[in-house]
Structure 1
């Protein structure tokens, strides 16, 4: 495991000082923990396991599956009119897309923290393709460069190097290690990465990228023919 670094084209992280920020519009599938209570239980068990490790855990309001990153310009460079165009394109592309359920888990230690693997891929892959098509239609092919591998729900981001084998062993001991994740809403969010100083038992303080996002627009997935509420 090594320190997580945001990957945004044209926005290098080398040489940035504490307080520096990077921003981008992202499109997420977010969980409803009031519905999927077992998912909340699994995530909390993972947080307890991650406590001894140099990982900034995501609180419930930051859990997500990334569907796309609008990577051509920082979020602050996207005007209100351009955001409205993007929202309209997403609504059109996602119309008549029904909710579906995936299995989140087992938890996995990664090179940049930990996540819940998500399966089956088909529904999330189809949703990603619809979102990508909408973003491309509005902002061009250069705006969509996200390649996050197989679908997954992030649990936290590492802020220092550490041996991931003990973490993986501890995560593997969690039982049950799977929970349902109902994908029933897609959210356009404004993501901010802020370079902070985080307490580190081994080295006093350590630079870390703090992750946060602000929801801008939510599209509730619905069966064909059902009016779609927007928030």
Structure 2
């Protein structure tokens, strides 16, 4: 692994900048198996230069998330409240007939940016991503879709220095069970902020909620 650096419009993120994202979030009291899997990984992550996305308290999801899409045409500061409301309304309209579903995440994998859980099966999640992108395109235009996050995944933590991912993966392979269900019934629109963590020198993610869009219009 190497030090993770988030990007916006193909360039390194500006410290403290905020950008609107659509995320899936695990829920305490609902996704209990998933949170147990994530917390089982935490001791291994702490032995490497990885800042876990969740605290030590069991069943606390912290900042665990699956990125569905970034609104990449402008930072949040340049998107007015009326424009944000138009985006929220477009998402409500686009997702009103999308049924809630269950998928799975796992196994835990160390990679270049830290550690993650891949989403699989992913057909419904990818279809949902397409609908979210359609809503963003309707509200913001094609220029808002510049982000390529690769395969859908849940980040366990971001790396703040270089290390050997092979040895981390040996630790993670010993963790069982290897996979866990994720209930998908809400798309969260969030104001996401990446800033330098002064303790580690790495990037830390935080967010403020803008809207929660239920699938199926419920």
Q: TM-score, normalised by structure 2?
A: 0.93
What secondary structure sits across from 1:87 in the alignment? helix
CA contact (8 A) 2:19 2:70 kept: yes
CA distance in 2, matches of 1:209, 1:149: 20
- Report what 1:90 is aligned to: 91
Structure 1 residue ranges, 4+ long, deviating more than 2 angstroms after superposition? 10-13, 196-199
- Report what 1:211 is aligned to: 205
- Report what 1:5 is aligned to: 5
CA contact (8 A) 2:5 2:12 kept: no
- Report what 2:153 is aligned to: 152
Measured after TM superposition, the shift of residue 119 of structure 1 is 0.5
CA contact (8 A) 1:109 1:167 kept: yes
Which structure would you say has the larger Rg? Answer: 1
Measured after TM superposition, the shift of residue 10 of structure 1 is 6.1
CA distance in 2, matches of 1:213, 1:83: 16
CA contact (8 A) 2:9 2:147 kept: no
Aligned residues: 212
What secondary structure sits across from 2:197 in the alignment? strand
- Report what 1:62 is aligned to: 63
CA distance in 2, matches of 1:110, 1:11: 21
- Give the aligned CA root-mean-square deviation in angstroms: 1.3
Output one character per residue of 1:60-115: Cα deviation in whole Å (capped at 9) or x when no partner: 13111111000111111110000000000000000021111111110111100010
Measured after TM superposition, the shift of residue 171 of structure 1 is 0.7
CA distance in 2, matches of 1:163, 1:23: 31
Measured after TM superposition, the shift of residue 198 of structure 1 is 2.4
CA distance in 1, matches of 2:181, 2:89: 30
What secondary structure sits across from 2:30 in the alignment? coil
CA distance in 2, matches of 1:220, 1:139: 21
Query: Are 1:168 and 2:159 matched, yes or no?
Result: no
What secondary structure sits across from 2:8 in the alignment? coil
Measured after TM superposition, the shift of residue 12 of structure 1 is 3.5
Measured after TM superposition, the shift of residue 29 of structure 1 is 1.1
Output one character per residue of 1:109-168: Cα deviation in whole Å (capped at 9) or x when no partner: 110001001111111110000000000111111111222121111100000011111111
Which consecutive unaligned segments of at least 5 residues does structure 1 have?
200-206
Measured after TM superposition, the shift of residue 25 of structure 1 is 0.3
Which consecutive unaligned segments of at least 5 residues does structure 2 have?
55-60
CA contact (8 A) 2:64 2:155 kept: yes
- Report what 1:24 is aligned to: 19
Query: Are 1:132 and 2:126 matched, yes or no?
Result: no
